[in-house]
Amino acid sequence: MNKSTFRRLRAALRRGVREARLAWQPDSYVDGPFEALSAEMLDASRTIRGTDCAPAILVHGVMPRSGTVYFGRLLAAHPDVESYPNLIWEMPLLHCAKQIGDLQSDFIAKYPQNEERFAQHDFACLIGSAFIGYLHAQMTPGKRLLMKVPLATHLAQFALMFPHEKCLMLLRDGRDLVASTMKSWPGRDFERVVADWRDAAHHMLSLDYPLYRYEDLVADPSGVLKSVFSATGLDPDTYRFDEIADHPLRGSSDYVDSHGWDHVDKPKEFRSVERWKSWSPRQKERFKRIAGDVLVEAGYVADHGW
């Protein structure tokens, strides 16, 4: 075999491996049918998380760089909301759903007679409600708890782990999210990040929790917030909508090198949408091949002609 033939075969093999890798969907996005919680656990969880506490507001972004920091800051400005008690800035508990399921399985394996006492996801509910109760214990009585996490993994199991709380989902245009990710972490693999957005966004779109777009939040924060307040029962009349423009910038990939994640004044020319327009034709084609259909499904484009 000459060198030219070898190179062609090696390139074809690498393409095949890459396509297979990008087509794989992790188990965290393909949750199966849900088993009901036991009546005993559902009743106990209400007491554990606090019977006098209104539903916590738990924001889930599609993945990192989705805008949950900005969304969280806007929501935290409501006078009835208290955010991130004990300085717990993110709460990736759903991300641990598999490990919690393994814990329940190990518990039952040591004494199989316990199996009839618990429904399949009772431990998830027990741990989720206990964590919410722990956070409530750090808060001012009467305030609404706000937490966020930029992860959609196991999000379909939210109602099992947090049956008494409110879930809000935040989606962002995958092209801008990938552009921001690659700027924040240049070592990441472009195609892997695109595939991660594809899987997470598709998973979100299959769920029935309130879904908001980062782009809408940037264009019309007052309109989005009024919708959120309606969905969560917060009073819009007590919110200072006139102060939205004064919120500082935090977490932008444009300022991470010089400022870290600290607050900075928002530059007048700052723009966080349509950054993907500087992509090369090859980058656009790679995104379309991997995640173009989900971009259409999410309503960001009508077809692959962008």
Distance CA 290, CA 221 (A): 31
pLDDT along the chain (306 residues), means of 10: 60 46 51 73 97 97 96 97 97 95 96 94 97 97 97 94 97 97 94 97 96 96 98 98 79 46 46 86 97 98 96
SS3 of 247-299: CCECCCCCCHHHHCCCCECCCCCCCCCCHHHHCCHHHHHHHHHHHHHHHHHCC
* pLDDT for the residue 5: 60
- Mean of pLDDT over the chain: 87
Helix runs in 206-276, H state only:
214-219, 221-232, 256-259
- Identify the CA nearest to 272 among candidates 254, 290, 285: 254
Cα distances (Å, whole numbers) of residue 74 to 123, 218, 229, 234, 237: 33, 11, 11, 13, 15
* pLDDT for the residue 227: 98
Angle between helix axes 97-110 and 122-136 (nearest 10 degrees) is 120
* pLDDT for the residue 7: 62
Distance CA 178, CA 195 (A): 10
- Identify the CA nearest to 236 among candidates 227, 226, 245, 246: 226
Distance CA 292, CA 306 (A): 10
Topology of the domain covering 25-172+207-245:
Rossmann fold (3.40.50)
Domain range annotation of the chain: 25-172+207-245
pTM of the model: 0.85
For 192: left if phi > 0, alpha if psi spans -120 to 50, otherwise beta; the answer is alpha
Distance CA 143, CA 134 (A): 14
